[in-house]
Chain A
Amino acid sequence: MARIHRKAASRLHSEIVTRAKKHTTDMRYDAHSSGWPAHLVAALHVRVTAEGHYRVQYPKNLEHEILTLEYGTEDTPPSPVMRNYFTKVGS
């Protein structure tokens, strides 16, 4: 019985990892299409939390640059890659 549970858990984990990889690739594609710089595109990773939620992860030192692009500033319009991606995936 325990062996079956381990197998199921392993399969679930592998599925989650596969999905997260696919979402990472798709989101990076969207970011690239929206004109985000290459170093920020490469920094985006989609992770699946233990509760089953999707989260975008990026290095702390790039947070300001990424959020500035995502939400815009007084001088630059927003380029919302992360929000639009999850809207698309959720619909």
Chain B
Amino acid sequence: MPFILNEEAALKTLLSGMTVADAGTQSRPVGVFYGQPDKEIRQQNYPYITIDLINISEATERVQSGTVVVPYEPEGYDGVSSLRTPYPMPINLDYQVTTFSRQPRHDRQILAQLFSIGRLPVRFGSLPIPQDNTNRRLETLGFSKRDTTEADKRLFMNVYSIRISSEIFRTEFNTKDYIVQTRNIGLKTDTGSAPVDPNTDLYHLLQTQQAQLI
């Protein structure tokens, strides 16, 4: 089941729509690309932003056990299956958002827009995902200024490390509901199958069965 496509699309939408102004152009759009765009594309499109997935880790502080009726329709849901499922595994998706521009004025305008509420603020960040109608946590983990010179031209670079919360489901949502099942382990004895003592735990039952197989 995919779990990452909606988040990436939402992040791209969140960063899209920015413009910068300078003496030549009043409204120059800031392109947003996944990963490293082709050289031809980016040379025509300064300034621009890239999104790189840099880490996926378990969010141990959000782990729960048991079952839950998921209050939203997760990615990959077929629309008819039951939404009752074991608690999903919480994960963190870490992204690097990098901005590139040739002019300091563009750089500052991008900075101002990115740090504003609704994009990548240092606090109170959130990522609306319209596909499943959820709002995910969006935390700014760090920021680094990486201005450099490339072929005798100034290149203004800013690096944001951000974290988006997500979940991986353990089921494929292909069962209508959970059926209560009874376990019936028949132990072979000399006189046939013996009734299972309800007080015997599963570990001992399996050990006994294993011994019989040998």
Q: Once the chains bind, are B36 and A74 in contact (CB under 8 Å)?
A: yes
- Please give, as numbers and ranges, the residues of chain A lying within 8 Å of B98 by CB-CB distance: 71-72, 78
B167 interface residue per 8 A CB criterion: no
Contact of B60 among A76, A78, A84, A91 (CB under 8 A): A91
Contact with B along A60-80 (1 / 0, CB 8 A): 000000010001111111101
Q: Once the chains bind, are B146 and A80 in contact (CB under 8 Å)?
A: no
Q: Once the chains bind, are B55 and A71 in contact (CB under 8 Å)?
A: no
A83 interface residue per 8 A CB criterion: yes
Given that A67-B146, A83-B142, A84-B94 are known contacts, is A74 also in contact with B42, CB under 8 Å in the complex? yes
Q: Once the chains bind, are A83 and B100 in contact (CB under 8 Å)?
A: no
Q: Once the chains bind, are B57 and A88 in contact (CB under 8 Å)?
A: yes
Q: What total of chain B residues lie within 8 Å of the partner, measured CB to CB? A: 26
Output the residue of B35, B36, B141, B142 with the most chain A CB within 10 A: B36
Main DSSP-derived SS at the B contact region: strand
- Please give, as numbers and ranges, the residues of chain B lying within 8 Å of A74 by CB-CB distance: 36, 39, 42, 100, 150, 155
Contact with A along B46-61 (1 / 0, CB 8 A): 0000001011011111
A49 interface residue per 8 A CB criterion: no
Q: What total of chain A residues lie within 8 Å of the partner, measured CB to CB? A: 15
- Please give, as numbers and ranges, the residues of chain B lying within 8 Å of A75 by CB-CB distance: 36, 39
Main DSSP-derived SS at the A contact region: loop
Query: In chain B, what residue has the closest Cβ to A67?
Result: B146
Q: Once the chains bind, are A83 and B36 in contact (CB under 8 Å)?
A: no
Q: Once the chains bind, are A80 and B36 in contact (CB under 8 Å)?
A: no
Q: Once the chains bind, are A83 and B150 in contact (CB under 8 Å)?
A: no
Q: How far is the CA of A74 from the CA of B100 in the complex (A)?
A: 8
A33 interface residue per 8 A CB criterion: no
- Which B residues between 57 and 74 are near A, CB-CB below 8 angstroms? 57-61
Q: How far is the CA of A91 from the CA of B142 in the complex (A)?
A: 16
- Please give, as numbers and ranges, the residues of chain B lying within 8 Å of A80 by CB-CB distance: 54-55, 96, 161
Given that A72-B96, A80-B96 are known contacts, is A87 also in contact with B55, CB under 8 Å in the complex? yes
B144 interface residue per 8 A CB criterion: yes
**Least Cβ distance of B4 to chain A in Å?**
17
**Least Cβ distance of A20 to chain B in Å?**
21
Q: Once the chains bind, are A71 and B146 in contact (CB under 8 Å)?
A: yes
**Least Cβ distance of A90 to chain B in Å?**
10
- Please give, as numbers and ranges, the residues of chain A lying within 8 Å of B157 by CB-CB distance: 71
Hey, which bits of chain B sit against chain A, CB under 8 A?
A: 35-36, 39, 42, 52, 54-55, 57-61, 94, 96, 98, 100, 141-142, 144, 146, 148, 150, 155, 157, 159, 161
Hey, which bits of chain A sit against chain B, CB under 8 A?
A: 67, 71-78, 80, 83-84, 87-88, 91
Please give 7 more A-B residue pairs, beta carbons under 8 A apart, in addition to A75-B39, A80-B55, A84-B54: A67-B146, A71-B144, A77-B35, A78-B52, A83-B142, A87-B55, A91-B61
